[in-house]
């Protein structure tokens, strides 16, 4: 029996992660909701529950076990889960997202326990709308969707990539306060080219090679159309699509609904922010930077486009701005004369003799900043870092590939090989580095500093679009929030413990743009920042009696 309000009773309530309070149900609530005898007699405070969670978490033997423990908590008590995540964000975020989520995706089919999110496969063409209607929550405001082809730096993980949308949406709630019931993770299963998965009898996705033809586009078209119909107020975030699809899908759909690609736009914004903060240390100016990218995929091109946009906004001609960005991909330095260049790479093909060695490219180009985003572990060798340090007093070295095992160099290597002069940031977290009497605290250039705030701003304003200008503004807000104390430690991003404040500030800026540019579907409030804060979910138990 359930009450007319829809609140379940008894065991059903204890199995409902949205409403469950576990041992925190009061005596009055236990009597009213049919819980008497179903729980131990002591009523615990949320703080006591959190203490128990942390004790159990820290006793686990590995990060993967800690991940599974936290996922289990999320599945039974979302309020307590988000209380723990928010209060212990620096400890918990690496467990529910990078780097641990990468390992969880690799083992997804073997550690699968309870369903979360929606799986839409090629077999579901013609009934995607029906599948979206199976989702139990109607007021969906943020959807993160992947086809699993380019999961972090790990490649094609097919349906096992579902861990990424789940993790991203956990960060939307923890970092920006999007209510858990307003978040929907989606995996579009179009097969996989991962041989180990295809040969794994426990793999949970379609047992076929990845679709590249019209059937793929038909499925994505149907999905986007269904989202617009079933969840018309939702923001759609594209995540970890392969290079062959990411750019074209972004261009195809971005004008038809509120949509962005985090790997392109979010990564671009967080890297630009780190660069702007780094220039406060080096006393440089953006227009005089020469940036060499190791990797010309979504992340690299996205960062390049955002840097160019920032330079153009500062009055630099676009060709001059593009000339400040150089790319080194799997075929070497990106130069004129290269055949069959994808459209997104063409603006960055410059006149220069071919160069096949990264260290040689550094020696010839003398970049002020070196940005790694190709998922090639160890690519920033001692020779490369020492060349950067020999040519620049404060070389900017961003090893942004993740998980940690894919980083182009470690924080310790960057600082040691540059004699402590490198301004370093990474995609995954590194511990502080002690070098002589100095201690360096590396910044983590994680997209979690950007996408939750951008999404929250779009949701609060009910924006019809997410524009490149919003990401550029988000990057500048984030850079401005880096304190002098952070910079003194070598950290070019704020502490993760401040991330909810960061997200609120970014959201207010994004919402302000939506209101000013006529993109918002609601009237601007008198105080945009306060309106944003009022929208943010707080992990507090409701009173049922």
What are the start-end ranges of the E strands in 225-324? 235-238, 259-261, 291-294
How far is Cα 425 from Cα 441, in angstroms, rounded to an integer? 9
DSSP single-letter state for residue 151? B
- From 257, 282, 314, give the residue that closes a domain: 257
What is the separation, in whole angstroms, between the first and last Cα of the chain? 18
- 473 and 417 part of one domain: yes
Residue 434: is it exposed, middle or buried by C-beta count within 10 angstroms (0-12/13-18/19+)? exposed
Residue 486 included in any domain: yes
- 88 and 152 part of one domain: no
CB 460 within 8 A of CB 511: yes
- Give pLDDT, residue 5: 57
Residue 79's domain spans which residues? 10-96
- Give pLDDT, residue 1: 31
Q: What's the CATH number where 297 sits? A: 3.40.50.720
79: left (phi over 0), alpha (psi -120 to 50) or beta: alpha
Residue 383 included in any domain: yes
- Give pLDDT, residue 339: 85
Residue 103 included in any domain: no
Which residues pair with residue 329 across a beta bridge?
332
* Integer angstrom CA distances of residue 382 from 139, 335, 494: 52, 25, 28
Which residues pair with residue 293 across a beta bridge?
327, 371
Residue 2 included in any domain: no
Q: How many domains does the chain have?
A: 3
CB 172 within 8 A of CB 178: yes
Q: Which of 21, 67, 82, 97 is catalytic?
A: 97
- 63 and 124 part of one domain: no
Chain position carrying tokens 């409902």: 16
CB 148 within 8 A of CB 158: yes
- 288 and 426 part of one domain: yes
How far is Cα 488 from Cα 480, in angstroms, rounded to an integer? 15
Token couple for 7:
């609140």
544 is catalytic: no
Residue 1 included in any domain: no
Q: What are phi and psi of 221, to 5 degrees?
A: -55, -45
- 170 and 119 part of one domain: yes
- 251 and 327 part of one domain: no
- From 204, 225, 257, give the residue that closes a domain: 257
Residue whose C-alpha is closest to residue 433's, from 416, 452, 408, 449: 416
- 199 and 329 part of one domain: no
Contacts for 451 with CB less than 8 Å, ≥ 6 apart: 168, 171, 172, 237, 260, 262, 266
How far is Cα 348 from Cα 300, in angstroms, rounded to an integer? 11
Query: Under DSSP, is residue 161 helix (H, G, I), strand (E, B) or coil?
Result: helix
Residue 111: is it exposed, middle or buried by C-beta count within 10 angstroms (0-12/13-18/19+)? middle
CB 449 within 8 A of CB 425: no
- 393 and 244 part of one domain: no
388: left (phi over 0), alpha (psi -120 to 50) or beta: alpha
Contacts for 72 with CB less than 8 Å, ≥ 6 apart: 113
Q: What's the CATH number where 44 sits? A: 1.20.1370.30
Token couple for 293:
């990218």
- Give pLDDT, residue 4: 36
Residue 106 included in any domain: no
- From 190, 224, 257, give the residue that closes a domain: 257
DSSP single-letter state for residue 43? P
Q: Which of 21, 103, 168, 345 is catalytic?
A: 168
- Give pLDDT, residue 498: 96
pLDDT digits (tens, 9 = 90+) for 170-225: 999 999 999 999 999 999 999 999 999 999 999 999 999 999 999 999 999 999 99
Residue 228 included in any domain: yes
Element (H, E) at 112: none
- 243 and 274 part of one domain: no
CB 328 within 8 A of CB 384: no
Residue 387 included in any domain: yes
CB 510 within 8 A of CB 461: yes
pLDDT < 50: residue spans in the chain: 1-4
- 243 and 355 part of one domain: no
- 66 and 123 part of one domain: no
168 is catalytic: yes
Q: What's the CATH number where 238 sits? A: 3.40.50.10380
Token couple for 78:
């979302």
- 116 and 84 part of one domain: no
Task: Look at strands 325-329 and 332-333 and give their pairing.
Answer: antiparallel
Which residues pair with residue 120 across a beta bridge?
188
- Give pLDDT, residue 356: 97
Token couple for 426:
């990474």
């Amino acid at each position: 029996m359930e009450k007319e309000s829809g609140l379940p009773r008894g065991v059903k309530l204890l199995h409902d992660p949205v409403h469950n309070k576990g041992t925190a149900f009061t005596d009055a609530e236990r009597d009213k909701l049919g819980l008497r005898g179903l729980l131990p007699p002591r009523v615990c405070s949320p703080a006591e529950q959190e203490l128990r969670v942390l004790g159990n978490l820290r006793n686990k033997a590995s990060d993967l076990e800690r991940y599974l423990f936290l996922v289990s908590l999320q599945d039974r008590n979302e309020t307590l889960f988000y209380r723990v995540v928010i209060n212990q964000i620096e400890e918990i975020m690496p467990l529910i997202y990078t780097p641990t989520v990468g390992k969880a995706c690799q083992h997804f089919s073997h550690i699968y326990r309870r369903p979360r999110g929606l799986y839409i496969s090629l077999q579901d063409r013609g009934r995607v709308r029906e599948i979206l209607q199976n989702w139990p929550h109607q007021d969906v405001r943020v959807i993160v969707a992947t086809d699993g082809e380019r999961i972090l730096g790990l490649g094609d993980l097919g349906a096992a990539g579902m861990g990424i949308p789940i993790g991203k949406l956990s960060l939307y709630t923890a970092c920006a306060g999007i209510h858990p019931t307003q978040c929907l993770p989606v995996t579009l299963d179009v097969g996989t080219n991962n041989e180990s998965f295809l040969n794994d009898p426990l793999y949970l996705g379609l047992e076929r090679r990845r679709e590249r033809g019209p059937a793929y586009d038909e499925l994505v078209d149907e999905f986007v159309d269904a989202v617009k119909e079933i969840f018309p107020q939702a923001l759609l975030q594209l995540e970890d699509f392969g290079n062959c699809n990411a750019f074209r899908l972004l261009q195809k759909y971005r004008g038809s609904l509120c949509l962005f690609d985090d790997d392109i736009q979010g990564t671009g914004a967080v890297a630009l922010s780190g660069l702007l903060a780094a220039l406060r240390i080096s006393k440089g100016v953006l227009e005089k930077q020469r940036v060499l990218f190791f990797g010309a995929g979504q992340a690299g091109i996205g960062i390049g486009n955002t840097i160019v946009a920032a330079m153009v906004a500062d009055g630099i001609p676009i060709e001059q701005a593009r000339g400040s960005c150089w790319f080194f991909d799997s075929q070497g330095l990106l130069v004129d004369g290269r055949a069959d260049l994808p459209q997104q790479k063409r603006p960055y093909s410059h006149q220069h003799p071919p160069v096949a060695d990264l260290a040689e490219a550094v020696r010839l180009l003398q970049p002020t900043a070196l940005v790694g985003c190709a998922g090639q572990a160890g690519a920033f060798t001692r020779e490369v870092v020492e060349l950067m340090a020999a040519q620049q007093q404060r070389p900017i070295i961003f090893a942004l590939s993740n998980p940690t095992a894919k980083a182009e160099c470690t924080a310790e290597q960057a600082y040691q090989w540059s004699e402590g002069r490198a301004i370093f940031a990474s995609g995954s977290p590194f511990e502080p580095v002690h070098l002589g009497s100095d201690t360096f605290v590396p910044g983590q250039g994680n997209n979690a500093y950007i996408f939750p705030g951008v999404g929250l701003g779009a949701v609060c304003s009910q924006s019809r679009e997410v524009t490149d200008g919003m990401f550029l503004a988000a990057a500048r807000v984030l850079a401005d929030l880096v304190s002098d104390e952070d910079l003194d430690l070598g950290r070019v991003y704020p502490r993760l413990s401040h991330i909810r404040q960061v997200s609120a500030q970014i959201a207010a800026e994004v919402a302000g743009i939506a209101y000013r540019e006529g993109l918002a579907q609601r009237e601007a409030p008198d105080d945009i920042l306060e309106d944003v804060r009022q929208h943010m979910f707080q992990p507090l138990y409701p009173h049922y009696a």
